[in-house]
Amino acid sequence: MICPYCTKIDNKVIDSRLSKDARTIRRRRECLGCGRRFTTYEKLEDILPMVVKKDGRREPFDRDKIMSGIRKACQKLPVGVAKIEEFVDSLELYFQDLGKKEIDSSEVGEKVISKLKEWDEVAYVRFASVYRQFKDINEFMAELEDILKAKQEKKDK
pLDDT at 124: 85
Domain locations in the chain as residue ranges: 11-43, 50-135
Spatial distance between the Cα atoms of 69 and 90, rounded to a whole number of angstroms: 16
What is the pTM assigned to this prediction?
Answer: 0.61
pLDDT at 44: 67
Spatial distance between the Cα atoms of 152 and 100, rounded to a whole number of angstroms: 39
Please give the order of strands across the beta sheet that includes 11-18. Answer: 11-18, 24-31, 37-43
13-53 pLDDT per residue, tens:
999 998 776 778 999 999 999 999 999 988 766 678 899 99
- Using alpha carbons, select from 39, 37, 38, 61 the residue that is nearest to residue 49: 61
Overall size of the chain counted in residues: 157
